[in-house]
Amino acid sequence: MAALDGNSVEAAAIDPIPTLARQVMEQLRRDILEGAHPPGGRLRIESLRERYGAGASPIREALSQLAAEGLVLRVDQRGFRVALADSAMLRDLIETRCLVETAALRASIARGDAAWEEQVLVSHHRLARTPRSADPGRFLPNPEWEAHHRAFHLALLDGCGARALLAFCADLQDRALRFRYLSNQVAWPQRDVGAEHKAICEAAIGRQADEACALLEAHYRRTGHFLSAAAPREDLPTGQGPST
């Protein structure tokens, strides 16, 4: 067996998941977040092997890792299922984001430099010029918009300088993405999400911490309130999604 050099040892210590298992995990994680695997659905090893072109061992490793994240449930003697996505979980997610991300935004506004301001402005510009729907004739989630949306919200927080906090916020962003995709057919009330993003951006760049935090919290709670009302049952219904 070939000896590992210092960099390889360090990389293995940082990321103990084998490369193939990590690739499967990332693909499976994205599919769960985007609703390709519905909440509560069975995750059969054989079906996943065919879908992701990997052996049983990488599949099981990926499922175990996602179970640790809470996106997959391990059912004793019966394999794995996709975690549920009910209204109670959504309310908890919204509450957590309001508490954590407003604190990160406040610190970001206090500590952010000119480079942070530029990052926020550029990310908002990219988001604002990208259509929410990939099809002008009907609502179809636009992956490019989703990427710019995530980048904008994380750019707002990046000036806080706390890497662990930013990683946690990025995970919250991903969990919110799951609810958006799972709600892509609900009839949403009129809402100018673009105007909300613009107001948050301007308040943050203007160093108006109280205003920016209030706008960000309202942005999240507006979405959470409607989704909770639209999903009284345990499972969130499929429908047209907003911008959480």
Q: Write out pLDDT tens, residues 25-70.
A: 999 999 998 888 988 899 999 999 999 999 999 999 999 999 988 8
pLDDT value of position 13: 39
Q: Between 14 and 208, whose confidence is greater?
A: 208
Q: What distances in angstroms separate CA 136 from CA 130, 133, 141, 142, one per listed residue?
A: 12, 7, 11, 11
Q: Between 223 and 237, whose confidence is greater?
A: 223
Q: Between 143 and 98, whose confidence is greater?
A: 98
> How far is 176 from 189, CA to CA, in rounded Å?
19
Per DSSP, helices labelled H in the chain are 6-14, 19-33, 45-52, 56-69, 87-111, 114-128, 143-157, 163-182, 193-205, 209-230
What does CATH list as the number for 6-82? 1.10.10.10
pTM here? 0.78
Asked if the 87-230 domain carries CATH number 1.20.120.530, the reply is: yes
Residue 9 has pLDDT above 60, yes or no: no
What is the per-residue pLDDT across 168-201, written as a single tens digit (0 to 9) for each?
A: 999 999 888 888 787 765 555 567 899 999 999 9
Residue spans of the domains in the chain: they are 6-82, 87-230
Q: Are residues 62 and 25 in contact, defined by beta-carbon separation less than 8 angstroms? A: yes
